[in-house]
Amino acid sequence: MSSNPVAETVAALLPRAKAELAELVAFKSVADFAQFPKSESEGAANWVADALRAEDFTDVAVLDTPDGTQSVYGYLPGPAGAKTVLLYAHYDVQPPLDEAAWTTPPFELTERDGRWYGRGAADCKGGVIMHLLALRALKANGGVPVNVKVIAEGSEEMGTGGLERYAEQHPELLAADVIVIGDAGNFRVGLPTVTTTLRGMTMVRIQIDTLRGNLHSGQFGGAAPDALAALIRVLDSLRAEDGSTTVDGLAPETRWEGLEYDEEQFRTDAKVLDGVGLIGDGSVADRIWARPAVTVLGIDCPPVVGATPSVQAAARALVSLRVPPGVDAAEAGKLLQAHLEAHTPWGARVRTETVGQGQPFRADTTSPAYRAMADAMAVAYPDETMQFAGQGGSIPLCNTLAGLYPQAEFLLIGLSEPEAQIHAANESVSPQELERLSVAEALFLQNYAAG
């Protein structure tokens, strides 16, 4: 990184940042209180609130949101007449899953091979630390030139929407000129990336019934309609021969304009087994960022162990459909339901219901904030140019905030590059990425204020 006072300050602050991230990672802040005590999440929330108070934030509050979790808010006033920037991250984390699959304990930050391992290190406790680092660097170099609001969500990973509902009920609280969502990531380590699109999602449950009860497969099989076979046929109708998603009425042919995703790199990132082909057509970026993608999330049917020779009377599945910007998730959900019902064979009884939904998102990349961030990233990442990437996942809060504040600009950055293995065992963060992105965020705030 080129010599710059802000960069030098961030580098000097990195050991403190590591110690703080270790404290924050130690909280088992999974927002599923059937799995982990609520006190763990409350402890993490209080940690964030204390950190904001220590940085002279006013109006620091631990907000009780409608889903029973807490989000942490703070306001740092800037110079008179300054613009307002909202910095977002979340302190809740995914469950550790199989703790035996972790090389080191999931809730102990551990340095290994130049990375820091622990649940939430990248997604998204590292994002909280990134915001703190950027603000401290500015305070040490002339002050923070904008009004800053920080919001740290407590249930993002559970998707229960507590902060979304709270924001709708208190629409003035998070109003800002620019919203920096610190929950995305670089395309790869060392390549500065802003995420400009998010796919939306709809989830549909399908139930198929054919008989009043299971039947002996020897006595009745061959003529009795099998509900599981019917379900398999319906689910298969959602894909073309090459694996492309085919939902009746849903246009699949959209193109990604931006950073391309090398196919071999994708195979490595996705851990595809040797000899197994990728599915779909078009470029990898088209497939994962710009087109609909169906996934069967689960099937209720007899497990192999303990199965009996029976024709199944009933079967059900949960199906997810990711949709790109430009497609309304509610409309896509209706098309998915209609497709499932239309393709159910043999007159079997079929019921479908939508069980979850979030709209896609597209940022305006021509806005002044993007120029300010591009200039900041050029300093933080010498010899690299800021790239635009999509993200196949959803952040429903983006849409809520875009609806509340239609004039606001949105920037999605963060620490979740492919090596971070977020949501999996052995999640980690690159300290170099934490350092460079903290520098970029600090310089962005300076550039944006000056612009």
Name the pLDDT band for 379 (thresholds 50, 70, 90): very high
- pLDDT > 90: percent of the chain: 93
- Mean pLDDT for all residues in the chain: 96
Provide the 8-state DSSP code for 218: H
Look at residue 276 and tell me if it is in a domain.
Answer: no
The arithmetic mean of pLDDT across residues 10-35, rounded, is: 97
Residues 336 and 385 both lie in one domain: no
* pLDDT in the model for residue 1: 57
- Inform me whether the pLDDT recorded for 339 exceeds 90: yes
- 299: β partners: 317
> Which of the listed residues 311, 337, 358 is the one where a domain comes to its end?
358
Distance CA 82, CA 78 (A): 6
Look at residue 422 and tell me if it is in a domain.
Answer: yes
Distance CA 447, CA 451 (A): 6
- Inform me whether the pLDDT recorded for 31 exceeds 80: yes
pLDDT in tens, 193-206: 999 999 999 999 99
Look at residue 371 and tell me if it is in a domain.
Answer: yes
Distance CA 172, CA 314 (A): 49
The arithmetic mean of pLDDT across residues 405-415, rounded, is: 96
The boundaries of the domain holding residue 42 are 5-198+360-450
Question: How far lies 361's CA from each of 298, 388, 400, in Å?
Answer: 26, 14, 10
- 388: β partners: 194
Catalytically annotated residues: 92, 156
How many domains does the chain divide into?
2
The arithmetic mean of pLDDT across residues 245-274, rounded, is: 93
**DSSP string covering 370-404:** HHHHHHHHHHHSTT---EEEEESS--HHHHHHHHH
* pLDDT in the model for residue 359: 86
> Which of the listed residues 327, 358, 389 is the one where a domain comes to its end?
358
Name the pLDDT band for 3 (thresholds 50, 70, 90): confident
Residues 248 and 337 both lie in one domain: yes
Residues 372 and 437 both lie in one domain: yes
Asked if 402 contacts 410 with a C-beta cutoff of 8 angstroms, the reply is: yes
> Which residues, including other chains, have CB under 8 Å from residue 448's CB and lie 6 or more apart?
83, 85, 146, 178, 368, 369, 372
